Amino acid sequence: MCGIAGASGKDSVNSVKKMLEVIRHRGPDGSGIFLQGDIAIGNVLLKITGEKKQPISNIGALTYNGEIYNFREIAQALDLKTDSDSETLFELIKSIGIEAAVGESDGDYAFAYIENRKISLVRDPAGVKPLYYSMGNGFAFASEKKALSSIDENEIKTLKPGHMLTFCAGNIIEKKVAGFNSGEILAEENAAADMLFEAMEWSVKKRQFAPCAIAFSGGLDSSLIAALCRDAKLYSVGMAGSHDIEQTKKAARLLGLSDNLHLHELTMDELDAAIPDVIRAIESRDPMKVSIAMPLYFASKDSHRDGIRVLLSGQGADELFAGYKRYEAMNSLELGIALRKDLVNIAENNLERDDAVTMANSVELRVPYLDRNVVELALRIAPELKIYNGIRKYILRLAAGKILPDELVWKEKKAAQYSSGIYSAMEKIARKNGYRGALGRYLGELMKQD
């Protein structure tokens, strides 16, 4: 996991150096730059898998952010001895080309490959790892918008999930190279629940790391991950006396994991001091985005303090299995369309925010619900099994019931920004500073001051 950046043009090396300095928090363990003609690419490294330094080069060159979970199988097929997923991806691209390599890779990634004065950018199908680009004096890309803003005032665009962008001789071509397959609809609940549990079990297993942490709210989504990854530390964040604090204590006790629980009961002063940092990380003053990002910011900050570099979250479960209240009024056809739309938009709506706020603390976020097998299975499960008799996430609850106590399986979801007490606390802070009923305006003023 790391931060990546690149640029073309006569001053490309200096541009890359400047961008890497802006995203240094993404990779405290080292950095590197590779130059080919007037194209420079670089990275800052957060060392998790393997010892290989980046960018990797040999005729072509690769800079890469993410995790390829099946890299050992790929390396074996290539007769390659390595402990590095980045080296494996590089050799796979050299062997079969970029598009075929993407088809073979199971993971979450954003990477840039250069060869013959051509830059190719690729992003994983769910968009778990971010990648942005701009066209000003030359072409440039980076893992965070603020890196591009430091060198270019032109419009910054987002590479779409599952897409490859090719830049060559001033021209851009973008096309879709990865996605999620759908198959025969699953409408039998017992079979669907069994398959979903097995898929989640494998998804969590391949994302486990020692040591590992979970952003834990005590709800269904994070409780299932915790039950499947029992060695992980559980990080829970909320205002003192909030629903999340009480619920996580109860859930950890029901799971027999009370000793793993790390509670952080936020004070108003802590929250007040952190607001500018979160705004800077997610590059947004939107009150809802800031309030949702805040628990994850502190969970990753606390886990980093404890020497943990990998954090799992339940992101994606609501969009795949109909967790939001707004889904309840929809018929089956409408629900199926809405869920597919929300999956397409999850990167922009949620994943880019979550990546930014955790990487601000040099912690890699992994999202088991957005594993390719889990997503493709979810797309096959009939909408009628996702909301049944008014129960949202019905099929996920049945699957989770194989390992969770009933009290956690059937608990109703509460929105994180409200259950943590953070949104209302932010409103109080805004009011104290003279912005009664104008939280968004207050956050906007803080953003201007940065």
- Kindly state whether residue 182 falls inside one of the protein's structural domains: no
| Same-domain check for residues 121 and 38 | yes
Q: Does residue 184 belong to any structural domain of this protein?
A: no
Same domain (yes/no): 66, 168: yes
Cβ-Cβ contacts under 8 Å for 223 (sequence gap 6 or more) = 216, 251, 255, 400, 404, 408
Q: Which residue has the tokens 């597919």?
A: 340
Region class of 140: left (phi > 0), else alpha (psi between -120 and 50), else beta: beta
Residues 395 and 299 placed together within one structural domain of the fold: yes
Domain presence at residue 402: yes
Q: Is residue 234 part of a domain?
A: yes
Of 251, 198, 199, residue with least CA distance to 226: 251
Query: Which residues are part of the catalytic machinery?
Result: 2
pLDDT of residue 50: 65
Q: Which of 117, 148, 176 is the last residue of a domain?
A: 176
Whether 241 and 346 share a structural domain: yes
User: In terms of domains, do 17 and 164 share one?
Assistant: yes
pLDDT for res 414: 62
Q: What is the CATH number of the domain that holds 363?
A: 3.40.50.620
Q: In this structure, what CATH number is given to the domain that contains residue 132?
A: 3.60.20.10
The span from the CA of 360 to the CA of 213, in Å, is: 16
- 207 in the same domain as 79: no
Q: CB neighbours of 406 closer than 8 A, spacing ≥ 6?
A: none
Q: Which of 104, 86, 108 is nearest to 96 (CA)?
A: 104
Per-residue pLDDT tens over the stretch 408-420:
999 876 666 568 8
Please tell me the pTM assigned to this model: 0.95
- Let me know if residue 445 belongs to a domain: no
215 and 286 co-located in one domain:
yes
CA 159/CA 10 separation, integer angstroms: 24
Question: How is residue 27 written in tokens?
Answer: 């990779």
Q: How many residues does the chain have?
A: 450
Residue 277 shares a structural domain with residue 207: yes
225 and 148 belong to one structural domain = no
Residue type, 272: D
Do both 290 and 424 map to the same domain?
yes
Is 386 in the same domain as 429?
yes
Residue 261: strand, helix, or coil: strand
Q: How far apart are CA 207 and CA 419, in angstroms?
A: 27
Distance of alpha carbon 289 from alpha carbon 6, whole angstroms: 28
Considering the domain architecture, whether residues 152 and 273 belong to the same structural domain is answered as no
Residues of the chain with pLDDT under 70: 1, 50-51, 413-418
In a domain, 93, yes or no: yes
Q: What is the pLDDT of residue 256?
A: 98
In-domain check, residue 446: no
pLDDT at site 48: 79
The structural domain count of the chain equals: 2
Residues 6+ apart with CB under 8 A from 286: 440, 443
Asked if residue 450 belongs to a domain, the reply is no
Q: Which of 176, 207, 223 is the last residue of a domain?
A: 176
What would the two tokens of residue 272 be? 């007040």
Contact 114, 60 (CB under 8 A): yes
Q: Cβ distance 196 to 382 under 8 Å?
A: no
pLDDT at residue number 29: 87
pLDDT computed for residue 1 by the predictor: 61
Domain carrying residue 241: 189-440
Task: For residue 376, give both structure tokens.
Answer: 């493709």
Domain boundary among 109, 142, 176: 176
